[in-house]
């Protein structure tokens, strides 16, 4: 009984805390002071605020759980603001409401004498541009009219001084005439955010208008799929206004937690996974020279959600399937794209703006020692585990990145989100059930889980993707270590580069600077990932060489490679 009471007490307090946190978020959105809050056993990270859409969705879902006084405050915050003036945009679709004086007046061009007029005109253009791209170009269905709310059937935008960090929000409610949802947008008047001024207004227009499209023509957000509403709206920022890049501010969360399930839906989440929609757009632009296929896959997922009443992740999987793709292989490929960012960016490959993206965070870095190492792992559904192996035991700075993907859509759609436990083995001697990675390396994934077939592996060796087959060994383009010292305890031998060939052996010739031959032999080509031969540093008589510069020549299958090396013997 005591245990039950403790569990009930903790659960009740956690639920109360969750409601209080949610209520405080609405107060912040409405620029009102949050009430004091206690924190019990909280381990959840606090995401950055951006759009109030997910907060509003959660509040509507839990509305009856709030007190009567709280409900009254919430209703007041989410009601249509009253503003001093309004204009109709050039397209005739939007009516923008604003103040010319006071705390709510638009301020996107501070210091400009025509600040208010310039702000409103620019905002109207931003919403018309968003409508044109999202409706006329991408082909989404427009949101329905609001049945006369706001004075007429035009779509209403209200410029308002919002709480810290919020760019805007889309408020929605069921229409009286059908089952669709009508909406209006509230946008911050100053954009005191990471992307300030009118550029913040522009991306907010693209973002929030797509929320209006989503709730009005595809799916109300009261489903637990709010993360996908935010992914899609955030991607519209990039699609409509490619040069602004406010989404950069949110990418670090995904790149820190690629092993977290894609359907993670707690708090203001989803902005970070915008990178998935950007992948879909750029994948087919780059690989198939098709600039529309990625857009169509994204839109198709929304049509499936609406027409078949499926979860977002199920709709994504079906949309990929209709285009001859699978979620497991696509998410694995997505994992590779996310690896080649920052200083790993490869020209004319992967993301167009990859150099501006953060580096992916692996589960861990491992210093591998042959012949076999086994690691105990667990992976959430629709997630990628990155393991980075240092293979420098060979004397060469080789690196292997193994990406294990869990493509289990059904588990990602369930409320418990079960993970798959597995054992990952890296080895240099093949065994039954192992997969060839590259050269002498093999891997093996073992699991007792019934869903283990949803696991797949993709490997990157020295920044080159390998797909279960050997690739030619890379050429070492320098001698190392350099300079080589007989008195450095870490210098046991020298590695001298050779040309790639099918031969297992190469001839090595060492000459003094006066071209006297001091060493020659036929040596085995090292197969550690780069083509090279290993030399002891001694001459043909087994003696150490005097300090100086020497010339090396390697020959294999008639291919010659030559250069210089330095030896220290004093």
What pLDDT was estimated at residue 40? 31
Regarding whether 166 and 34 lie in a shared domain, the answer is yes
Q: What is the layout of strands, in order, in the sheet containing 455-461?
A: 364-367, 383-390, 399-406, 455-461, 464-466
Task: Report the range of poorest mean pLDDT among 220-229, 396-405, 442-451.
Answer: 220-229
The confidence score (pLDDT) of residue 28 equals 81
Q: Is 104 domain-assigned?
A: yes
Q: What is the mean pLDDT of residues 29-52?
A: 54
- Choose one of 445, 466, 487: the last residue of a domain: 466
Bridge partner residues of 520 (DSSP)? 509
Domain residues for the domain of 496 are 474-568
Burial class (CB in 10 A: 0-12, 13-18, 19+), 80: middle
Within-domain flag for 335 = no
Q: Are 444 and 559 part of one and the same domain?
A: no
User: Is there a single domain that holds both residue 524 and residue 404?
Assistant: no
pLDDT at 7 over 60: no
**Range from 84-93, 274-283, 389-398, 476-485 carrying the lowest mean pLDDT:** 476-485
The rounded distance, in Å, linking the Cα atoms of 229 and 50 is 13
pLDDT band at 468 (very low <50, low <70, confident <90, very high): low
Are residues 439 and 525 located together in one domain of the fold? no
By the 8 A CB rule, do 408 and 451 touch? yes
End position of a domain, from candidates 422, 443, 466: 466
Mean pLDDT of the 124-138 span: 99
Percent of the chain exceeding pLDDT 70 equals 91
pLDDT at residue 527 in the model: 55
Q: What is the mean pLDDT of residues 341-354?
A: 96
More confident residue, 52 or 207: 207
- Would you say residue 82 lies in a domain? yes
Please check whether residue 259 lies inside any domain of the structure: no
Distance CA 518, CA 550 (A): 9
Q: Which residue would you say has higher pLDDT here, 274 or 525?
A: 274
**What is the H or E stretch that residue 210 is in?**
helix 197-217
Question: Final residue of a domain: which of 198, 219, 240?
Answer: 219
Q: Confirm if 63 and 74 have CB atoms less than 8 A apart.
A: yes
Residues 496 and 560 grouped into a single domain? yes
| Distance in angstroms (rounded) separating the CA atoms of residues 565 and 441 | 31
Q: Is pLDDT of 388 > 70?
A: yes
Query: Are residue 380 and residue 493 in the same domain, yes or no?
Result: no
The pLDDT assigned to 46 comes to 45
- 20 in a structural domain: yes
Shared domain check, 536 and 387: no
| Structure confidence at residue 29 as a pLDDT band (50, 70, 90) | confident
Q: Note the pTM of the prediction, 2 decimals.
A: 0.79
> What secondary structure does DSSP assign to 272-329, as a single string?
GGHHHHHHHHHHHHHHH--SSHHHHHHHHHHHHHHHH---HHHHHHHHHHHTT--HHH
pLDDT at residue 478 is higher than 50:
yes
Confidence tier at 5 by pLDDT (50, 70, 90): very low
Confidence of residue 38 (pLDDT cuts 50, 70, 90): very low
Interstrand relation of 155-160 and 181-188 (parallel, antiparallel or unpaired): parallel
Q: Are residues 164 and 21 in the same domain?
A: yes
Least confident piece of the model among 54-63, 84-93, 501-510: 54-63
Return the residue matching tokens 């290993």: 534
Share the mean pLDDT of the chain. Answer: 88
If asked whether residues 389 and 528 sit together in one domain, one would say no
pLDDT of residue 267: 59
- Residue 484 within a domain: yes
- Which pLDDT does position 12 carry in this prediction? 34
Q: What is the pLDDT of residue 475?
A: 54
Question: 376 with 442, same domain?
Answer: yes
| pLDDT tens string 448-466 | 999 999 999 999 999 999 8
Q: Are residues 77 and 96 in the same domain?
A: yes
Is the residue at 313 inside a domain? no
CATH number of the domain within which 486 lies: 2.60.40.3080
Residue 225 belongs to some domain of the structure: no
How many independent structural domains does the chain possess? 3
Nearest-angstrom CA–CA distance, 67 and 73: 10
Q: Is the pLDDT of residue 283 over 50?
A: yes
pLDDT at 53: 78
DSSP string, 229-288: HHHHHHHHHHHH-TTT-GGGGGHHHHHH-TTS-TT--SSS-SGGGHHHHHHHHHHHHHHH
> Are 439 and 491 within one domain?
no
């Amino acid at each position: 009984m005591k245990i039950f009471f403790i569990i009930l007490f903790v659960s009740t307090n956690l639920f109360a805390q969750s409601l209080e946190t949610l209520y405080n978020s609405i107060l912040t959105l409405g620029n009102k002071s949050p009430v004091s809050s206690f924190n019990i056993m909280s381990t959840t990270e606090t995401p950055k605020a951006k759009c109030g859409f997910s907060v509003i969705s959660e509040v509507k879902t839990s509305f009856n759980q709030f007190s009567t006084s709280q409900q009254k405050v919430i209703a007041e915050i989410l009601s249509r603001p009253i503003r001093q003036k309004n204009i109709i945009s050039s397209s005739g679709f939007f009516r923008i409401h604003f103040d010319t004086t006071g705390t709510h007046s638009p301020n996107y061009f501070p210091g400009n004498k025509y600040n208010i007029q310039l702000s409103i005109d620019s905002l109207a253009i931003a919403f018309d541009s968003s409508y044109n791209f999202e409706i006329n170009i991408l082909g989404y269905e427009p949101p329905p009219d609001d049945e006369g709310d706001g004075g007429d059937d035009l779509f209403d935008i209200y410029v308002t001084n919002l709480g810290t960090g919020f760019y805007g929000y889309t408020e929605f409610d069921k229409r009286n005439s059908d089952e669709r949802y009508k909406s209006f947008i509230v946008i911050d008047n100053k954009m005191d955010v990471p992307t300030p001024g009118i550029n913040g207004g522009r991306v907010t227009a693209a973002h929030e208008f797509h929320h209006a499209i989503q709730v009005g023509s595809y799916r109300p957000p009261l489903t637990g799929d709010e993360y996908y509403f935010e992914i899609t709206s955030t991607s519209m920022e990039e699609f409509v206004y490619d040069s602004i890049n406010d989404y950069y501010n949110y990418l670090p969360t995904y790149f820190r937690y690629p092993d977290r399930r894609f359907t993670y839906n707690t708090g203001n989440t989803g902005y970070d996974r915008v990178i998935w929609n950007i992948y879909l757009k750029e994948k087919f632009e780059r690989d198939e020279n098709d600039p529309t296929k990625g857009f169509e896959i994204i839109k198709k997922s929304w049509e499936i959600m609406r027409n078949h009443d499926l979860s977002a992740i199920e709709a994504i999987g079906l949309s990929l399937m209709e285009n001859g793709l699978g979620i497991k292989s696509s998410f694995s490929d997505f994992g590779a794209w996310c690896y080649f960012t920052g200083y790993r960016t490869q020209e004319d490959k992967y993301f167009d703006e990859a150099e501006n993206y953060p580096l992916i965070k692996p589960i861990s870095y491992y210093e591998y020692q042959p012949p076999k190492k086994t690691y105990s792992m667990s992976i959430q559904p629709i997630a990628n585990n990155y393991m980075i192996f240092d293979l420098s035991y060979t004397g060469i700075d080789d690196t292997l990145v193994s990406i294990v993907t869990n493509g289990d859509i059904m588990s990602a759609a369930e409320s418990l989100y079960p993970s798959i436990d597995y054992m990952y083995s890296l080895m240099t001697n093949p065994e039954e059930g192992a997969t060839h990675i590259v050269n002498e390396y093999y891997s093996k994934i073992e699991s007792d889980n019934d869903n283990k077939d949803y696991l797949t592996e993709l490997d990157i060796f020295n920044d080159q993707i390998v797909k279960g087959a050997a690739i030619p060994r890379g050429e070492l383009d320098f001698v190392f270590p350099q300079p080589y010292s007989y008195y450095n305890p870490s210098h046991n031998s020298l590695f001298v580069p050779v040309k790639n060939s099918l031969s297992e052996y190469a001839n090595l010739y060492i000459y003094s600077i006066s071209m006297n031959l001091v060493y020659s032999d036929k040596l085995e080509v090292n197969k550690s990932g780069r083509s090279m031969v290993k030399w002891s540093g001694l001459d043909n008589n087994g003696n150490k060489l005097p300090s100086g510069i020497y010339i090396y020549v390697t020959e294999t299958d008639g291919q010659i490679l030559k250069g210089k090396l330095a030896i220290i013997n004093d």
